[in-house]
Chains A and B, each alone.
Chain A
């Protein structure tokens, strides 16, 4: 039996909304649809479990923050920092996301069909089997992958042809990788970031992410898999070593 729990979020504050979601998950529901979402923040904040939640509308900031396990599918744009400090699970956004998408994310995946704002993937980190991934179909603004300490940011730039020109890419990165389809204006690489060779092994690494992205959004994976990518990583795993002396 496949019952879908439907929640009407019209005029509903985020706290009662989350309470309803949590209660449904506690009752063992596997599929929840939230309709008429209009700016409610913190949807699925701290939620743990195996559940698919469809969000119809435009969720507010910090969607899926601290979340571990659920899959969120958003039909609309998401505000800032979806996947903030997320631990596991998947967020699929059929639209764009605001600033600081996947901020400090430790595990799980965030897929954005269109664009993300400034500081996408900032301070993402990895740990043991946890390996966070942010995949963006469109483009991103400045400071993509800033302070990154682990995981993968993949920028597909669908429909874009020229080099990627956005300032401060991967500034302060000390772990993880940023993949950008096509060329990256060398002047846009921030201090501490470095272009690394893109080889077959790396193509294999991003292939499953491309395939998963295309499954969600109905794109053809083939041209994206064979495309050229610029791979950016840390110039050093110890960006601050050498800055200090002791008293």
Chain B
């Protein structure tokens, strides 16, 4: 096969009647799709990634993009993707890496779950008129309270409460490290989280000093590479998260290539400039649930038991039993990351084939914890492919205390889900360390966009709750009676513990 023998993935065309040859497309496309020849803009569509930067920046709306302009012979099994992966591997003999979440066309279970609303027999609640309680606490809840009445008649609480995170919304922003994303992108997310009264994960990469002003809204991550982890970092965070696994690539480690380790990333991760940052697949001090408990307690001990400790796992087949083990490890929250979770880079074969959907995982975890009487010991955070307020509401009704969003927050900052995050050329200044590209992202403005998104979703969650006659998130949590399955098989309905529509 000759180079270029694979058909174009995207075709860019310019409406020459509209184009005024201003050259903004040439400046904006970091992939080199456009060049100027005399007073003409020349196009090389093969370079295009469908990032839409040129389209967004063209003052004349002159640019259009077509995906797959050239058909293959259609075939139900030998899809374009199947064929092109083989061409790639026949040429290279290597494992294929890809950016962003799974591209498998499996139907999201969320879309086959429908929400309830009040009619006649119980009134719905208008969130404009009635108070709606969306405040969420993440952490251990006592199984019982011991109270003592004082001589003067007042009551003292004798039970010692565990530290909890207080959220104004059940929506948090998941872990995206500085390194995987730019500092401006992380700053924008931090500003958005702070403005929304919620929290944001640092990812595995330490904390850049520019983020310090937002540290009270940061959850610091400890992953197997222990990059950027020292006692100051642990003390800065509002909570600490141990990353065991990630939904996009369960069972394997991470690898930040040396090219992305610039001077600043090197300081934050505490590794030499330009060296690969390799996170082994397991934590090599965790080979069992007992070892996990040891790491949880070591982190608590290092921070004098003042911080909640989360454990993040990928949603895998045995997720419920694993979560039940985690609930007994002194951890305060378990984050379950479904197989649709985003990533900067993951082997395609993992991204598209390993792990299970968050809907099934979170429901199974919640049921198992309740059955074992330890649900109060640990909060459940659902993540991995949540696209809107309905997904959030359904995840909570399936048993989550709160959710992490990731890709959605990036999309709020301009991300077009082009999936080229690993190339360090993100035209939106998100997944890149190239200074000219990073400077395209204005942290104040994009922070506002992120806050707007969280605000809008939070309003929608309260509207959905109100319509269902629920006025507190506590009453929505695990409330499967407010869900009905549509075109789901009996086995799945059982896993979700949800009745079919009409029942």
> Which residues of A does B touch, CB under 8 Å?
14-15, 18-19, 22, 41-42, 45-46, 48, 61-62, 65-68, 80-81, 84-85, 87, 100, 103-104, 106, 119, 122-123, 125-127, 130, 146-147, 149-150, 172, 174-175, 237-247
- By the criterion CB–CB under 8 Å, are B303 and A104 in contact? no
- By the criterion CB–CB under 8 Å, are B301 and A87 in contact? no
Q: Given that A65-B298, A84-B298, A247-B419 are known contacts, is A240 also in contact with B278, CB under 8 Å in the complex?
A: yes
How distant is the Cα of A175 from the Cα of B255 in the complex, in angstroms?
A: 15
At the interface, yes or no: B348 with Cβ under 8 Å from chain A? yes
Kindly list the 9 A-B residue pairs having the minimum CB-CB distance in the complex, ordered from nearest: A46-B302, A245-B94, A247-B98, A245-B92, A104-B226, A127-B270, A42-B301, A46-B231, A45-B301
- By the criterion CB–CB under 8 Å, are A125 and B271 in contact? yes
- By the criterion CB–CB under 8 Å, are B301 and A68 in contact? no
Contacting residues, chain A, for B305 (C-beta < 8 A): 15
Contacting residues, chain A, for B284 (C-beta < 8 A): 100, 103-104, 119, 122-123, 146-147
How distant is the Cα of A172 from the Cα of B255 in the complex, in angstroms?
A: 13
- By the criterion CB–CB under 8 Å, are B278 and A174 in contact? yes
| B 278-294 contacts with A by CB, 8 A | 278, 280, 284-285, 294
- By the criterion CB–CB under 8 Å, are A123 and B347 in contact? no
At the interface, yes or no: B142 with Cβ under 8 Å from chain A? no
Contacting residues, chain B, for A123 (C-beta < 8 A): 224-226, 280, 284
How distant is the Cα of A154 from the Cα of B231 in the complex, in angstroms?
A: 26
Q: List 18 A-B contacts (CB under 8 A).
A: A42-B301, A45-B301, A46-B303, A66-B298, A87-B230, A100-B285, A103-B285, A104-B225, A104-B285, A106-B226, A125-B271, A127-B270, A149-B275, A175-B272, A243-B94, A245-B92, A245-B96, A246-B96
At the interface, yes or no: B297 with Cβ under 8 Å from chain A? yes
| B 57-108 contacts with A by CB, 8 A | 88-89, 92, 94-99
How distant is the Cα of A172 from the Cα of B297 in the complex, in angstroms?
A: 29
How distant is the Cα of A247 from the Cα of B343 in the complex, in angstroms?
A: 14
- By the criterion CB–CB under 8 Å, are B229 and A85 in contact? yes
- By the criterion CB–CB under 8 Å, are A238 and B234 in contact? no
> Which residues of B does A touch, CB under 8 Å?
88-89, 92, 94-99, 224-226, 229-231, 234, 255, 257-258, 266, 270-272, 275-276, 278, 280, 284-285, 294, 297-298, 301-305, 347-348, 419, 422-423
A231 to chain B, nearest CB (A): 19
Q: Given that A146-B284, A243-B95 are known contacts, is A237 also in contact with B275, CB under 8 Å in the complex?
A: yes
Contacting residues, chain A, for B419 (C-beta < 8 A): 247
How distant is the Cα of A80 from the Cα of B294 in the complex, in angstroms?
A: 11
How distant is the Cα of A67 from the Cα of B234 in the complex, in angstroms?
A: 12
- By the criterion CB–CB under 8 Å, are B294 and A127 in contact? no
How distant is the Cα of A80 from the Cα of B280 in the complex, in angstroms?
A: 19
A173 to chain B, nearest CB (A): 10
How distant is the Cα of A55 from the Cα of B442 in the complex, in angstroms?
A: 53
Contacting residues, chain B, for A19 (C-beta < 8 A): 304
B204 to chain A, nearest CB (A): 12
Contacting residues, chain A, for B304 (C-beta < 8 A): 19, 22
Contacting residues, chain A, for B99 (C-beta < 8 A): 247
- By the criterion CB–CB under 8 Å, are A41 and B297 in contact? yes
- By the criterion CB–CB under 8 Å, are B97 and A244 in contact? yes
A40 to chain B, nearest CB (A): 11
Please give me the residue from chain B that is nearest to A105 by CB atom.
B226
- By the criterion CB–CB under 8 Å, are B92 and A66 in contact? no
- By the criterion CB–CB under 8 Å, are A172 and B278 in contact? yes
A12 to chain B, nearest CB (A): 14
A96 to chain B, nearest CB (A): 18
Contacting residues, chain A, for B423 (C-beta < 8 A): 246
Please give me the residue from chain B that is nearest to A86 by CB atom.
B230
Please give me the residue from chain B that is nearest to A118 by CB atom.
B284
Contacting residues, chain B, for A66 (C-beta < 8 A): 229-231, 234, 298, 302
Contacting residues, chain B, for A45 (C-beta < 8 A): 298, 301-302
Please give me the residue from chain B that is nearest to A247 by CB atom.
B98
Which of B270, B278, B280, B302 touches A106 (beta carbons < 8 Å)? B270
How distant is the Cα of A84 from the Cα of B304 in the complex, in angstroms?
A: 18
How distant is the Cα of A80 from the Cα of B284 in the complex, in angstroms?
A: 11
- By the criterion CB–CB under 8 Å, are A247 and B348 in contact? yes
How distant is the Cα of A238 from the Cα of B225 in the complex, in angstroms?
A: 15
Contacting residues, chain B, for A22 (C-beta < 8 A): 304
Q: Given that A46-B234, A237-B276 are known contacts, is A62 also in contact with B94, CB under 8 Å in the complex?
A: no
Which of A68, A104, A175, A245 touches B275 (beta carbons < 8 Å)? A175
Please give me the residue from chain A that is nearest to B224 by CB atom.
A123
**Quick one: which of B225, B294, B423 has the most chain A CB within 10 A?**
B294
- By the criterion CB–CB under 8 Å, are A85 and B226 in contact? yes
Contacting residues, chain A, for B229 (C-beta < 8 A): 66, 85, 104
Q: Given that A106-B230, A244-B347 are known contacts, is A149 also in contact with B270, CB under 8 Å in the complex?
A: no
B97 to chain A, nearest CB (A): 5
Contacting residues, chain A, for B230 (C-beta < 8 A): 66, 68, 85, 87, 106
How distant is the Cα of A103 from the Cα of B294 in the complex, in angstroms?
A: 14
A152 to chain B, nearest CB (A): 15
B468 to chain A, nearest CB (A): 42
Please give me the residue from chain A that is nearest to B276 by CB atom.
A238
Contacting residues, chain B, for A174 (C-beta < 8 A): 275-276, 278
A148 to chain B, nearest CB (A): 10
Q: Given that A87-B231, A245-B97 are known contacts, is A65 also in contact with B270, CB under 8 Å in the complex?
A: no
B290 to chain A, nearest CB (A): 10
- By the criterion CB–CB under 8 Å, are A61 and B95 in contact? no
Q: Given that A246-B97, A247-B88 are known contacts, is A42 also in contact with B298, CB under 8 Å in the complex?
A: yes
Which of A14, A127, A130, A244 touches B301 (beta carbons < 8 Å)? A14
Please give me the residue from chain B that is nearest to A130 by CB atom.
B270
How distant is the Cα of A246 from the Cα of B266 in the complex, in angstroms?
A: 24
Contacting residues, chain B, for A125 (C-beta < 8 A): 226, 270-271
How distant is the Cα of A18 from the Cα of B304 in the complex, in angstroms?
A: 9
B496 to chain A, nearest CB (A): 32
